[in-house]
Structure 1
Amino acid sequence: MNRTERLHALTETLRRAGPRGRTARQLAEEFEVTVRTIKRDLSALESGGLPVWGKTGPGGGYGLTERGTLSPVSLSATQALALHAAVAAAAQAPFSDSARASVRKVLDVLDPATRRRATALAGRVWVDTGPAPERRIMSALEQAMIDQVTVNITYGDARGRETRREVEPMIFALRSGTWFLAGWCRLRADIRWFALSRIRRADATRTPCAGHSIAAIGEPPALARSAEL
């Protein structure tokens, strides 16, 4: 068993153990490795975002917090490939880094054979989405949207002229293949659409938005829909 397969199997063992957990010694014996190797693997899982808890002393051990565990996931290789492809094609979308992290967590709980087949199939799907906005810019826009606070942006228009705006984020929208931030522009005192690719800088503030209704943006195009599943 290679390390990747062992990490996957270790995750499943901890999940099955439930609140009782398992000791490092028990895990080492199960996977036929040293206690030191098990502790290094547990540290790697925790660094990767898995909610591992550890208790020292008599009755101690390692386990997973209930709130952070995934229920058993059963996906076919083509379903896993669909997740791969959808996330790869959405590299310019808001929260794309969170989407990639989520897909990795889902793939981690698949059985090794399905995961290997899905990964092999993913090599047969190519996407060309063009350059994505800088992550630091997207992080600021995403946080402002989540917290509903204003964001200061430096925006370049079609002629390359830059203006500094304070914007109340209202929606992210994909229109004709281009991602936009639609929001209330305090400079223009009106709703404006900002192409994410033209935002040169973004800094979230602590100033609450005034609460403009999404309905104020107007009727969406006939084929537009929200991201609700």
Structure 2
Amino acid sequence: MTRTHRLFQLMQTLRRLPAPVTAASLVDELGVSLRTIYRDIDALRGLGAVIDGEAGFGYTLVEDAAMPPLSFDNGELEALVLGLREVSVIGDPALARSATTALAKLKARLPARQAHRLQHAVLDARRWQRPPEPGIDVQALREATWDEATITFQYADAQGRESRREADPLSIVYMQNSHMLLAWCHLRDDYRVFRLDRMREMSRTGSSFRPRRVGMLREHMERLRADAEAQGRSS
């Protein structure tokens, strides 16, 4: 990890963890020594970061007064609220929790008038029936997708037939009231869509398909779009 990257990670950690953040907590988060933490705090202060506290008491990152306050116009605020509330009701369990905490953090950072508008937004997202529960750890699947790591898993099709699949995960989408994995299936040697609630026992194979994910996803989406348009014309 370069020093620049480490300083950036330190700033992000100070923003994320509840204040005051102890040096010991920063050591655990960043995997560096106490001496490095103290030196990096001094470096950030020298660069203009306003950080209250000292060794033994913990640190609190204070937003720089030279930075503009976090603010949105009314339309942007409604869009953010609607998007986060939608994720909280259709996202997988881990992502739904993240959406809820993100909304709370956003409210805490906004000016009082906009925080009130966020709390009482006129737009909302409701689902009377939640998506089927995923059969795998979706956070692990997201990480494998970001890492462009090939995965293997047990899969049951619509008729309940079981098969072991190996696939290159491209994207996770919500469609047709279910969470779906868009992937390149090694068994079928073609693009496929897998329902997450029918997946079990997922793990990485140790192989990587980097850096082809973006191009493969674009091609997969084009095929899905073409199929949908063809079905629309035939109906």
8 Å Cα contact 1:81/1:119 also seen in 2: no
Cα deviation 1:125-155 (Å, max 9, x = unaligned): 3510513544962112101111000122222
Distance of 2:165 and 2:68 partners within structure 1: 44
Check 1:182–1:125 CA distance in 2 against 1; reply closer, same or farther (3 A cut). closer
The one-letter amino acid paired with 2:126 is V
8 Å Cα contact 2:150/2:207 also seen in 1: yes
Is 1:96 equivalent to 2:95 in the alignment?
Answer: yes
Distance of 2:72 and 2:201 partners within structure 1: 40
CA-based RMSD of the aligned residues comes to 4.1
1:30 maps to what in 2?
none
8 Å Cα contact 2:167/2:184 also seen in 1: yes
1:148 maps to what in 2?
148
Which stretch of the first structure deviates more once superposed, 180-189 or 112-121? Answer: 112-121
Cα deviation 1:37-96 (Å, max 9, x = unaligned): xxx96359x99x9xx885328xx9733288xxx962113566444323222223434783
1:196 maps to what in 2?
196
Q: 2:81 aligns with which of 79, 84, 89?
A: 84
Q: TM-score, normalised by structure 2?
A: 0.56
Q: TM-score, normalised by structure 1?
A: 0.57
The 3-state SS of whatever aligns with 2:191 is strand
1:221 maps to what in 2?
225
8 Å Cα contact 2:136/2:199 also seen in 1: no
For structure 2, the residue ranges without an aligned partner over 5 or more in a row are 1-10, 12-17, 30-50, 229-235
8 Å Cα contact 1:137/1:203 also seen in 2: no
User: Which runs of structure 2 are paired with 1:36-51 in the superposition (5 Å)?
Assistant: 42=20
Check 1:204–1:102 CA distance in 2 against 1; reply closer, same or farther (3 A cut). farther
2:69 maps to what in 1?
72
Check 1:193–1:71 CA distance in 2 against 1; reply closer, same or farther (3 A cut). farther
Cα deviation 1:130-187 (Å, max 9, x = unaligned): 1354496211210111100012222221122232212111233444444321111122
Distance of 1:65 and 1:114 partners within structure 2: 21
For structure 1, the residue ranges without an aligned partner over 5 or more in a row are 1-17, 19-39, 225-229
The one-letter amino acid paired with 2:225 is P
8 Å Cα contact 1:78/1:118 also seen in 2: no
1:7 maps to what in 2?
none
Is 1:138 equivalent to 2:138 in the alignment?
Answer: yes
8 Å Cα contact 1:87/1:96 also seen in 2: no
Check 1:64–1:160 CA distance in 2 against 1; reply closer, same or farther (3 A cut). same
Is 1:183 equivalent to 2:183 in the alignment?
Answer: yes
Distance of 2:139 and 2:103 partners within structure 1: 19
8 Å Cα contact 2:19/2:59 also seen in 1: no
Distance of 2:137 and 2:189 partners within structure 1: 23
Cα deviation 1:186-227 (Å, max 9, x = unaligned): 2222221112232234333432126364244244527x9xxx
2:60 maps to what in 1?
63
8 Å Cα contact 1:80/1:107 also seen in 2: no
Question: May I ask how many residue pairs the two structures share in their alignment?
Answer: 175
Report sequence identity in percent: 26
The 3-state SS of whatever aligns with 2:144 is helix
**Structure with the largest fraction of helix:** 2
8 Å Cα contact 2:70/2:110 also seen in 1: yes
